[in-house]
A and B are shown apart, each in its own frame.
Chain A
Amino acid sequence: MIRTGVEASVVRGEFTARGRRMLVAVEIQRQTQRRRVQVNRQPLRRSSDLRRELATVVFQPDDLQIVKGPPATRRAACDEAVALLYPEAEELQVRLGNCLRQRNALLRGLTVSQRRGPLDVSISQTLDVWDERLAMAGTAWAEYRIRALEVVSPLMSQIYSRLNPGSSTFVELSYQPDWLGAGLRASLAAARREDVERSVTTVGPHRDEIFWSLLGMPARTHASQGQQKALALAFRLALHDALSATRGQPPLLMLDDVFSELDPERRKILPRLFPSSQVVLTATESYPAATRESEVVDVTALLLGQAGWAAAIS
């Protein structure tokens, strides 16, 4: 958020990660909308490097869309889990994106006549090469997705059942791409005719569905809105637990307006599910007293205009 009339917005924070004190500053420029991140006053090359320095798991009201939205939202959530759990996979993700862009560019560059008839040898040989690069990167990425879900899914099922005591709740996240049987290379070859006609790569991890199921039924269509919100929250909490276990250092957990997203029953239970590490909550109303050792920062002053603003930051 950038206040009207100023050029940039800066958020500063002080953290302790792996016993090291860290000063983090994130600046968002109005004009470019670019983020610049500094750690201990040293600029980071890429703002995504902050993820290595300081892992964070964030729940936002928008997360409902992970369950309810189109497959792309579930892919993005899964890929975020991969990136957090396996930072070494970042290069692979970039590579996969580049393979796809290159293959699609090649398909788009074909002329109408090239698209209709049998493919020119030189074109089909070039496509072979990109198919193979894409197949290697895509298969490796799918393996990461499967690994991440195998870690997160059981934790999520546990958390979800604690959020819903007394009812039977089996939650599962799974990923079984159609192309896995034949292999991506062969599936790309099989889809080539269609890909050429449509100028786009129709098979691969960028098209797959990640299944979120509740009691064996797809949560997108069979869960109520309340259940869907709880599922999204359970996913974030499970990701937090998985990261704490693998990194030996709990990530920062931020829950944005979580209480207004839950029904009264779950609102009461949620604080008991908080990890012992730091949790940052934002809320538009006062929240249950059950949250222990909390420090409350009242930002109502910020809404009172300039005077209040000045008072709040001084």
Chain B
Amino acid sequence: MVDPYSTLIGDLIDRLERLPGIGPKSAQRIAFHLLQTRDDEVSRLASSMIEARRQVRECVRCCNLAVLDECEICSNARRDRARVCVVEDPRDVFAIERTGAFNGLYHVLHGSLNPMEGIGPEELRISELLRRLSAEDIEEVILGTNPNLEGEATSMYLVRLLHDEGVAVTGLARGLPTGGDLEYADEVTLGRALLGRREFPAAEI
């Protein structure tokens, strides 16, 4: 089949299609939209992508995305440093921040236990978490992994691992839709789940 577009446009569509949540139709629509947008608009979009990618890295403390060594949350003196909420993904930090129900710090694992995708404990930022526990005055670790199979397995792993660390380990209250992703939970539900967090019963440890 002959490519209906020049390779240049084809390449652009191709690359857009590789982005999450973008199918062939949307990729085409975005590509043609860009081609008809003012020059400086497109340049600004491109440079903000490049700049963000270049400047954003992992926070040395919580592994969240950060522009400086420490992310904005970790460097905020008004946050409660005794409480750390462990989440799978930087997007989950966003979701919880939106609720306004949590004033502690975070720890971002960058994934969940998932043997099918080759993700074991070593692939997650778990050793970084253990290091924080010995270096910082943390009283409570709140496990905020996704309420799906892999998230629960990850929580369970951490509950056992943190058992002897001298911190209270709590999990988000039920009420979150199971099988879902934290980032899609609405603010009210997620806020309530945070307030109603509970200790893991001994039976699960």
Interface, chain A (partner B; CB < 8 A): 91, 95, 98-99, 101-103, 105-106, 109, 122-123, 125-126, 128-130, 132-133
Q: Which residues of B contact A91 (CB under 8 A)?
A: 179
Stretch at the interface among B82-90, B91-99, B110-118: B110-118
The 4 closest A-B pairs by CB, nearest first: A106-B115, A105-B115, A105-B116, A129-B153
* Structural contact, A129 and B115, CB atoms closer than 8 A: no
A133 to B150, CA, bound (A): 10
* Structural contact, B121 and A122, CB atoms closer than 8 A: yes
* Structural contact, B149 and A109, CB atoms closer than 8 A: no
A98 to B152, CA, bound (A): 13
Known: A105-B115, A129-B156, A129-B157. A122 touches B122 (CB 8 A): yes
Closest Cβ of chain A: how far from B129's Cβ, in Å? 14
Q: Which residues of A contact B161 (CB under 8 A)?
A: 125
- B contacts with A, residue count (CB < 8 A): 17
Smallest Cβ-Cβ distance to A122: which chain B residue? B121
Q: Which residues of B contact A99 (CB under 8 A)?
A: 149
Residues of B contacting A: mostly: helix
Residues of A contacting B: mostly: helix
A122 to B120, CA, bound (A): 9
Q: Which residue of A101, A126, A128, A132 is within 8 Å of B120 (Cβ)?
A: A126
- Of B113, B116, B120, B179, most buried by chain A (CB within 10 Å of CB) is B116
* Structural contact, B116 and A130, CB atoms closer than 8 A: no
Q: Which residue of A95, A105, A133 is within 8 Å of B156 (Cβ)?
A: A133
Q: Which residues of A contact B149 (CB under 8 A)?
A: 95, 98-99, 102, 133
Q: Which residues of A contact B156 (CB under 8 A)?
A: 129, 132-133
* Structural contact, A125 and B157, CB atoms closer than 8 A: yes
B79 interface hit (Cβ, 8 Å): no
Using a CB-CB cutoff of 8 Å, which residues 140-170 of chain B contact chain A? 149-150, 152-153, 156-157, 160-161
Closest Cβ of chain B: how far from A63's Cβ, in Å? 33
Q: Which residue of B116, B120, B122, B153 is within 8 Å of A133 (Cβ)?
A: B153
Q: Which residues of A contact B114 (CB under 8 A)?
A: 102
Smallest Cβ-Cβ distance to B154: which chain A residue? A129
Q: Which residue of A101, A103, A109, A128 is within 8 Å of B160 (Cβ)?
A: A128
